[in-house]
Structure 1
Amino acid sequence: MNVLVVEDERRTAELLTEFIEAKATYLVVQVLDSVEATVNYLKKHQTQIDIMFLDIQLADGQSFVVFEQVEVTIPVIFCTAYDEFVMKALKNNGIDYILKPFKEQDIYQSLAKVQNLQQALGKNHPNIPQVAQQILAQAPYPADQPTLQRSFLVRYRDKMVPVEVTKIAFFHLDNDTVHVYGFDGEKQAIFKRLDEIEAVIDRQLFFRINRQMIVNRVAVKDIEPYFNRKMVVNLHFAIPDKAIVSRLKVTPFLEWLERPR
């Protein structure tokens, strides 16, 4: 079966591909990382795809935009660090909904669910997504709620040191390594992906402004316009790169800043 993977975190896409292709009957034919690329690809090649694994938060916006521009007829397995999009996923060909960080077994269970539905109804039966929606709607899903993390282990010289979340100003991905920056100016490496971090931090306190950076609301000094309708977040101290809010995240970011904790 041909699988399309849409995921903007390279390591996550590689891991997902590895899990899928461990099953002999599945082949990942394409990996995409944006809404725009997915729309263009589906318009040309959807008939050659059997299943799509779709990340909800992509670099250029939420992947639900895809369904506004293309009539998607294939089953979709949504992957996300958030549990708040379940109902919206169900309305967009959602066969299953996997919370990040996912495990190998999560992927296989989703593939089995699609295969069982296809065997029961016929591979090209037009009601596969609708049947799946009815099944998912009857269960309290997702059952496992992520536990908010109060501290992270970081590498400091030759030791692992716990750092309280409230002391972290921002997380930054640089050269495939995520670093933690404290309000005291200290920088340490943390051996987790941004997706993993995003899944277990308080979203009232932290916001992922782009693919490389998650910022603490307390660290924000002010905001100024940037080209192409983006914005730059100025923090209370110097940082290695400009903290640029991607265009499609500007509105939710501003709303988040105004939202009371």
Structure 2
Amino acid sequence: MNILIVEDEQHTAALLKEIIEQNPDTLVVAIESSVIGTVDYLVKYQPKIDLIFMDIQLSDGHSFEIFKQIDIEVPVIFCTSFDQYGIDAIQNNGIDYILKPFEDARVHQSLEKYRKSTERLRKKWMIHFTSQDEKTANYQKIFLGQKKEKSMVVAIEDIAMFSLEYETTYLYTFKNEKMPIYKTLEYVEQAVNSADFYRINRQMIVAKSAVIAIEPYFNRKIALQIIIEGPERPVVSRLKVTEFKVWLQGTALD
């Protein structure tokens, strides 16, 4: 677990690092002391961070200013000497709120809370991944795409994405062919294997094998780079970001 500490008091940061790294699976990869420094660091390295411990009052302002300058997808544990920032913490990816001076046990409790929240998502998806062999026969293996006056048979493994456009559902193949299928996106969501396809928002279902990269997007969403050119940039809705990442790493859930 890679952890970033945001703390302007050097002694406190060193103590927190020492407590965190008592856990064999944790590593503090960086310590930042300012709003500006944290923003610069996260712009470059956010995808490598699993969790942030963040003081609220930093050398150049409140840490909440960081969230106004960059979309942070990573869960945050806030550490502060004041207790009046609880609501703001919750609204800015906060999963816990530690009052200073903190004890070892309280820090370990927060780390365990993070682990449990992550594990719940992993278990949810493990239900899908461990039973795929039994369920495969029930999933739709082809879709009929309309091409002029013909109904084209398209194998599921050739489909990169389904997209709802002006009340019509289209499939996109890995060859960047686009065809209407005259099925609802809800129908498609139930018909395809959830280990291979994910509904990222109200308009799109993407194939795991079509995703090349992910990057931070506006309002703590993430944007996808996919193999094909779709009607618009694929964006994972904010509430689905964590679940999507767990799904995307499906084979790494063991």
Higher radius of gyration, 1 or 2 = 2
More helix by share: 2
